[in-house]
Structure 1
């Protein structure tokens, strides 16, 4: 069969992804990507360290990033993305900026990191107060809060699981439970951290329930990377991606609630006839009243004059 008339596959734009060695959600990243964009993934070298601040530092060393970007350069991606939240916030804002610069120089193309993309997403949404959900230990969660504070973003509430491994196995129901627990103090948005935590399908549900924008690590990473090459991330009804969603339930929490109309005075009840008496309610039947001793005694006939 001659298929030469098809002309080959549709031309693709390329995004190079550098992920930690234990990253397991490749498929989730693809779900935010339009059909004419391909992801090219590589992973950092394995190290026998559990999820911690030490691991975050190891998987974000500049030499490691340069080698990963150079390996991806063979397929000439137009933008590079470092898909790890903790690895990109562990050294603060200066560290995140330095990571992006090292990747840009190595690949000679724009580069983004998850934590840098998070700050861009919060700015896009006008969010300065956020609730935070993480699968991390307390120390790693504290480091995220420090990073946000350095950027002028206040954490109003948080919830974390304390995990050090197998984060990709956390079910959606646990993510939803943590979100409900974290949303205190009237935040502008909710952030779900860690690129190894599944979030794609749960974002619309949480936005509808919590009445605020919800952003996640993988979502902001793909949104930022694609925007660098003039492409738009795809996803079901998410405030960051969809202007309609941004004007929908996710925006309602910040709107002033209409004042309740003043209550109208209650109308007096209409009199009801007592059964068999023909008298309106509130007037006693003389016979019954006399039987109960509530009427004055009959004085008898008037005296003769």
Structure 2
């Protein structure tokens, strides 16, 4: 029997979605590949998605990295996109390096990906020069996310801010609502559609359906995170029914 690959996640205390969507994607992958996975989390306190709470939460990420490193996880994901982006343009590189250094110091070196870095890197890998995005955040935070992505060389042509400040309410959204919501975006001449630029807003159930419907590559922050985790583990980044990025 294969030993499980240990997936570690640093999650906001109020985040539910990444502990649902990440296992769901890897369980789907298990139907076509031999590798097996187990899932382990450490939490940073955060209830409201505000700049103040995000900054305080990010300071907690070092402790989480130590905790997950104690469990000798094989890869670690920082599962909050907006917390990283709120810390300033390009911050995902600094965060990933620092958290990886903690795993080395703690004697259990593990690659570290962040959902923010994974989204940016995945868009570049896909050759996406112009995108549109859906986010649950208030308009100022959504604008900040768009500007962070643009600083990485990808134009955000259009975005929808659903303006849901409470993080638990974000997790309670029906992903199939996105099948209608995305139609309000300007999709002309874009190279990719980010159906959820937030790892707390569920979108997995809608990704393939929206891609099939609009004919544009569709991804989310959580899909990008799984792609980068699999790449870091040296595994084929392929998961059925999760859109172009994970199509193999």
Offset at 1:180? 1.2
Distance in 1, matches of 2:38 and 2:247, equals 22
Alignment RMSD, CA only? 1.6
Q: Which residue of 2 aligns with 1:83?
A: 79
Unaligned 5+ segments in structure 1 are 1-8, 244-305
Describe the SS at the equivalent of 2:244.
coil
Q: How many angstroms apart in 2 are the aligned matches of 1:53 and 1:59?
A: 10
Corresponding residue number in structure 1 for 2:215: 211
Greater share of residues in helix: 2
Contact persistence 2:129–2:191 (CA under 8 A): yes
Contact 1:32–1:233, Cα closer than 8 Å, also in 2: no
Partner SS state of residue 23, structure 1: coil
Aligned to 2:107: none
What TM-score, normalized by structure 1, do the two folds share? 0.72
Q: Is the 8 A contact 1:132 1:159 kept in 2?
A: yes
Alignment-derived partner of residue 161 in structure 1: 162
Runs of 4+ in 1 over 4 A off after TM superposition: none
Matched positions, count = 231
- Match of 2:58, SS? coil
**Structure 2: 5+ residue runs without aligned partners?**
31-35, 105-109
Name the CA distance, whole Å, in 2 between partners of 1:132 and 1:138.
12
**Greater relative CO (CA pairs within 8 A, separation 6+):** 2
- 1:87-236 equivalent positions in 2, closer than 5 A: 87-108=83-104, 109-165=110-166, 166-191=169-194, 192-231=196-235, 232-236=237-241
Question: How far apart in 1 are the matches of 2:111 and 2:22?
Answer: 19
In structure 2, what is the equivalent of residue 289 of structure 1? none
- The alpha-carbon deviation at position 237 of structure 1 amounts to 5.1
Q: CA, structure 1 residues 81+237, in 2 after alignment: closer, same or farther (shift >3 Å)?
A: closer
Tell me the TM-score normalized by structure 2: 0.88
Structure with bigger strand share is: 2
The one of 58, 68, 78 equivalent to 1:72 is 68
Q: Name the counterpart of 2:33.
A: none
Residue-by-residue CA offset, 1:236-275 (whole Å, 9 max, x unaligned): 15100114xxxxxxxxxxxxxxxxxxxxxxxxxxxxxxxx
